[in-house]
Structure 1
Amino acid sequence: MNNMWRAVARYARQQLVQSNPTDLEQILELWYLRLLALTKLGLYQLASAELDKLGDLSRAELTFEFHNAIPKQQQDSSSSGSMVPFELRILAARLPAWLKYPLVALERLTMLAVHCKKVVVNSISMMHAKEMGPWRQREAQVYLVMATQMMEMNDYTGAASTMEMVSKQFGTKKDGKQDLDILSALGRLYLQLGDIESAEKIYGQVDKEGSQNEAIVETVQMNRAFLLMAKGEWNQAAAVLRGILEANKENLLVVNNLAVCYVYLGQISTAIELLSTMTTQNPTSAGTCETAVMNLCTLYELRYDPATGHKVNVMKQVARWVGDSFQADCIKLQ
């Protein structure tokens, strides 16, 4: 299904105009939907201007308690606190980064994490355990977004420190086991830093805890492949990735990394065939994935001179399925 974000933005605006002014919950949900659509379209300046119209998202007027029209007998834990969707707060914090102000985004995310922690502490002191759980999850979510922001700023050391803190404070599940997705992500960050020894230790924990869990066999194998690639053992990494691909032929991450292995092994034609087949057979996922399309076009540039004709064919294929949020510059025709 195409990502018709322009239609979503228009629909949200139309619904906002027609909404009852007293129904703040619905209005704020619609604002989030519209701003999300605008950011997906890359219209960051417009999204920022419209977000400014909302004013301070933490002001009292946007809380349930401020509106005495809600009968007290209907109020419960779900109708207290802020009406602002948490996703809207995340979006508002991230928006400056897309406007080339990453430090402002990092500051806003930090303030949002502090807010989440305060709510958790207050819930503990007031013995509201039901409220504490969701806000702990939100706090962890904010830290993960912060780590992503740091990676986009090429601050992999800061991202790794943040992920280490997340792993220690939020990485243990109710059954006492570690969250293996967080550990795997931390291991990949260590590889980005070139710290292979630390990555091996992390992946060793994942192997130990995941050895009896069939659901994460693929994750364990991917970690092994990443480690081999970091060591420059391309043949062994390719063998591991081919094994994963046999079990899951639609894993785009595996295909991309297997193509990288083939490039380093000097098998550019094989890498092109692999990506081309994947994008053709899965047009609505791989065929419209900007990373996959850009990798394929880059390989065409390495293999052919000129490569324009091949990239035009890619554009024709993509145009049949792509939504209006697709960044066409990944085809590299300019």
Structure 2
Amino acid sequence: MEADSLDLQPEPLPPSSDPLSNKFASLNDLAHELASLQDLSNRGSWRSILDKVARARSLSLLTTPHDHLTYLAYNVLAFTKLRRFKEALTELETVDDFDSHHYRYETYPKIYPTRSGSMVPFSLRWLHALVPIKLGDRQEGLDRLYLLLDFVRGKMKEKEEVAASLDVWRKREVFVVNNIVTEHLKGKEHGVCLDLIKCLLARGDSDPHLLSKLGYIQMQIGDLEGAKGSFDEVEKQNSLNETELTNMVSRNKALMYLVEKDYVSAVREYDACIERDAMDAVAINNKAICLMYLRDLSDSIKVLETSLERVPTVALNETLVVNLCSMYELAYVNHSDIKRTLSNWISKVAPDDFDSSCTRI
């Protein structure tokens, strides 16, 4: 699940037992002007979301408990995206207990006559774990992520006989495990990461992203044969569209070449990715780095600049800009002027959450 796209689904019910499902012809049937909030989030207009939530609250436009929780989730996400983590935490603290009866449909039979279960968006539970990490309390955040994983697995047991519902919770499980693995990787706790991923894979969840992450971790600890085996397994998967899967396979091959310092072969793989998908920002960034290792700084800069000109909304991320600015510093005496020009351009096209300090002016 993308962090920008909130998982606002209530606990899924079997279609036959959910008469309301036929009423939800649009996002706005789920919550007040939800389509507008979703559109703003897709465009990275996080300040506009804060304004919209504040207006809806001040004018008492939110009339149901679910409306309040949905707008709360968007507000917390917007504060988090804008790195206003203390304000995000303040919003989260307005919810006393996610499992309280106050946040269950059956508590309000007149409003939700045919619904039962929790109305808390899954995204809100995830943000509840993420915000402490952003505030520097890693252990609290990890504890909450593990509690969230237990919650998800509990739901999976409840939904075993309902295929559609079970699929939703399986995707959420993979999402939470990925979050946990990411945090453990920051602490170089590779053993924990391997155990978490292998536990999912042993159960038959051969998610290509998980397999790729497993291979990456195996590379980190020097298990190149294990990494190659994991990357080979990625090629056998069919849960992604052809271009996405083929590019993932090529990027994995490129990583193996990078370990061997065969930068020419790595560039070839990244070129193939970019030819298939001009918006593959990972391939674009890594190709530029490989060219830098090959001492072709001019072409390296050209790759990144071209990507920004062609697809700024995709290529414009802090990692790519940091690398481009580093290359400017290596290539030009007047790099400050060049970086200032880049920074001015970024200010016109970047989403609200872009960290302009990455240009290091």
TM-score of the pair, normalised by structure 1: 0.86
Aligned to 1:106: 142
Q: Across the two proteins, how many residue pairs are aligned to each other?
A: 317
1:179 pairs with 2:207: yes
Residue of structure 1 in register with 2:191 after alignment: 157
Instruction: Give the aligned residue type for 2:286.
Output: N
Deviates more, 1:300-309 or 1:263-272: 300-309
What's the counterpart of residue 247 of structure 1?
A: 276
Please give the residue correspondences for 1:73-84 in structure 2 after superposition, counting only pairs within 5 Å.
74-75=113-114, 79-84=115-120
The one of 93, 99, 115 aligned to 1:52: 93
Question: What CA distance in whole angstroms lies between the structure 1 residues aligned with 2:181 and 2:50?
Answer: 29
* Contact preservation (8 Å) 2:56, 2:62: no
Aligned to 1:238: 267
Residue 32 of structure 1 deviates from its aligned partner by 0.4
Contact 2:129–2:141 (Cα < 8 Å) also in 1: yes
Q: Do the aligned residues in 2 keep the contact of 1:2 with 1:322 (CA within 8 Å)?
A: no
Query: What's 1:148 paired with?
Result: 182
Aligned pairs for 1:279-318 within 5 A: 279-286=308-315, 288-318=316-346
The answer as to whether partners of 2:149 and 2:177 remain within 8 angstroms in 1 is yes
For 2:320, give the aligned amino acid.
Answer: A
Distance 1:82 1:256 in 2: 42
Shift of 1:109: 0.9
Paired with 1:206 and 1:132, the residues of 2 have a C-alpha distance of 23
Check whether the contact 1:19–1:27 (CA below 8 A) recurs between aligned residues. Answer: no
Question: Match of 1:320?
Answer: 348
Counterpart of 1:201 in structure 2: which amino acid?
A: G
Partner residue in 1 for 2:201: 167
CA RMSD of aligned residues (A): 2.3
Change (3 A) 1:141 1:282: closer
Deviation at 1:132, TM superposition (A): 3.9
| Cα deviations by residue, 1:143-162 (Å, 9 ceiling, x for unpaired) | 22212222344434322332
**Deviation of 1:21 (Å):** 6.9
Equivalences for residues 87-106 of structure 1 within 5 A: 87-106=123-142
CA spacing shift, 1:39–1:209, aligned 2, 3 Å: closer
Compared CA separation, residues 57 and 17, structure 1 to 2 (3 A): farther
Query: Cα distance 1:191–1:87, how it changes in 2: closer, same or farther (>3 A)?
Result: same
Alignment of 1:261 with 2:302, yes or no, is no
Partner in structure 1 of residue 172 of structure 2 = 138
Amino acid at match of 1:35: V
Deviation at 1:128, TM superposition (A): 5.6
Contact kept in structure 1, 2:279 and 2:314, CA below 8 Å: no
Kindly tell me: are residues 272 and 97 of structure 1, through their superposed partners in 2, closer, same or farther at Cα, counting changes over 3 Å?
same
1:2 deviation in Å?
A: 5.4
Distance 1:61 1:306, change over 3 A: same
Whether contact under 8 Å (2:129, 2:145) holds in the other structure is: yes
Partner of 1:4: 45
| Corresponding residue for residue 175 of structure 1 | none
Partners of 1:95 and 1:105 within 8 A in 2: yes
1:66 equivalent in alignment to 2:107:
yes
Q: 1:193 and 2:221 equivalent?
A: yes
Q: CA deviation at 1:298?
A: 0.8
- Look up the equivalent residue of 2:184 and give its one-letter code: M
Q: Which consecutive residues of structure 2, in runs of 5 or more, have no partner in the other structure? A: 1-41
- What's the CA shift string for 1:63-110, capped at 9, x where partnerless? 123334357xx42xxx22111111110111111000001111110011
Q: Secondary structure at 2:105's aligned position in 1?
A: coil
Change (3 A) 1:195 1:17: farther
Cα gap change, 1:225 to 1:66, in 2 (>3 Å) = same
Query: Which amino acid in structure 2 is aligned with residue 295 of structure 1?
Result: N
Partner of 2:82: 41
